[in-house]
Structure formats: C-alpha cells, structure tokens
C-alpha cells in the first residue's frame, strides 16, 4: 500500500455512460485526477475530450483480471495512489422469471457485477493511498431481493458479502483503507434502469444530479467505522 495520504486521484470503472460517466465528470470538475475505464471506445473518446488533460480514460474490460492489473499499474504511475476507487461497472438484463433468463445473461451479470468488483479489489487495494476508500457499487436489490431480477439480485448480494470480507482483510493487512458497499439510492434514471424498469425510470433523477451529491459523499462522508458497512447515497 502506498503511503500517500494526500492523494486526490479517483478511480472509477464503467465510465462509458450513466453513473460512472457522471461521477467522472463531477470529480474532474472538482479538480480530482480521474482514472476511468469502460468498453465503449466512442463513448470513452467523448468523455476523454470532455475531461481534458490530466486524466486517464482507457478501454479496459473489468472481467479481464490481467487487463485491470495493467490499468491499475498505469494509473498509479501517472496519477499516484488513488484516494478513492469506485467499482461501478454493472450489467442488468430485462425483467424475467429465472427460467426465462438465458445462461448467457446470467453469466454476464455475474461476470460484470461480481468478477468486476473482484478484479478492481485485487488490483487496486494494495495500491491505495493510506486512508483511501474502496467503494463497491451495490443496490437496494442487493439487500432486498427483487423477483424477475434474480441474476442481478444474486450478483448484488454477492457484492455485499464480498465487500464485508475484503474489509476484514483491509483491517488486518491494509491499515487505514476502508471498503464499503454503497447503494446509489432510491433510483437514478440511467440506461441500465430503463432496461429493467422501462415504464418507471424517468420518474427518477438523472445521473448528473445524482453525481452532484454522490461525489462529495463518496470522497468525504463515507464513515471509516465500521469497515465493510452497507451504505446508501443520500438523495439529490
């Protein structure tokens, strides 16, 4: 672990669109160097142009542990040890009973939502600044199950348990590092939400309004105790 308690750099996965892109723009506007990854090259090119110099936006698949390891190394070399890592990349399929959920959709959900948190934890936890925070983006459906979204529910319950486990490891081996699972809140109008709630998603605030609140909360208001807590971003 790097002893860089003054670090201000922020790492975010899944910045092609939605919550990740909004967070990246907000943190950059606040003066934080941002390292972001995603899979949509065109969307990432637009984000890179929006953010300007001093940031690192790369095409990286969070399900590829070796690729994430390379990204983490480059991030620390260019931006320093991160003060905040947000494992945000996510996937959700349209609502359906589990017997109508394809094996491919189930595997993709688990790969992105669970393996994608593992790869970031594996690569970044040992590289984090002293006092840093690792955030695994969870969901209210990772605490209260939702029928017809069994794959997503299972993946977010896994994220909650995984985060508690790595928090115990951090307590023992990475003093000063906090790991928490964070529910974005009561709902944010993103393409992901539109996939599973096509008739309701517009009732919720957009990602930019959410990021105005979430950026400050994640960087400055996440409690250090208890490590491994399940938290929720306050509403905008």
Q: Name the nearest CA neighbour of 20 among 29, 11, 9.
A: 11
Question: In the sheet where 84-87 sits, what is the strand order?
Answer: 56-59, 34-38, 10-13, 84-87, 133-137, 178-183, 230-232
Q: Residue 226: is the preceding peptide bond cis (ω within 30°)?
A: yes
Task: Determine the Cα–Cα distance for residues 171 and 109; give it in Å rounded to an integer.
Answer: 29
Catalytic positions, written as ranges:
152
Task: Determine the Cα–Cα distance for residues 42 and 59; give it in Å rounded to an integer.
Answer: 10
DSSP conformation class of 236: -
Burial (Cβ within 10 Å: 0-12, 13-18, ≥19) of residue 166: buried
Task: Determine the Cα–Cα distance for residues 30 and 17; give it in Å rounded to an integer.
Answer: 19
Alpha helices in the chain, H assignment, sequence order: 18-29, 41-51, 65-79, 103-110, 116-124, 150-173, 191-196, 207-216
């Amino acid at each position: 672990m790097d002893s860089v308690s003054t670090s201000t750099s922020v790492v975010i996965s899944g910045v092609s669109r939605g919550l990740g892109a909004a967070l990246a723009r907000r943190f950059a506007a606040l003066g934080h160097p941002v390292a972001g990854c995603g899979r949509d090259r065109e969307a990432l090119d637009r984000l890179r142009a929006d953010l300007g110099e001093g940031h690192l936006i790369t095409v990286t698949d969070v399900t590829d542990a070796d690729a994430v390891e390379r990204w983490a190394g480059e991030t620390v070399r260019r931006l320093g040890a991160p003060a905040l890592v947000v494992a945000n990349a996510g996937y959700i399929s349209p609502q359906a009973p589990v017997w109508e959920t394809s094996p491919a959709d189930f595997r993709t959900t688990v790969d992105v939502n669970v393996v994608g948190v593992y790869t970031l934890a594996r690569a970044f936890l040992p590289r984090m600044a002293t006092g840093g925070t690792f955030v695994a983006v969870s969901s209210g459906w990772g605490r209260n199950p939702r029928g017809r979204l069994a794959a997503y529910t299972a993946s977010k319950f896994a994220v909650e348990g995984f985060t508690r486990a790595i928090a115990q490891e951090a307590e023992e081996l990475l003093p000063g590092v906090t790991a928490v699972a964070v529910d974005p809140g009561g709902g944010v109008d993103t393409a992901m939400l539109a996939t599973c709630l096509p008739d309701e998603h517009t009732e919720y605030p957009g990602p930019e309004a959410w990021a105005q609140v979430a950026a400050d909360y994640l960087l400055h208001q996440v409690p250090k105790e208890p490590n491994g807590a399940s938290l929720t971003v306050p509403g905008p």
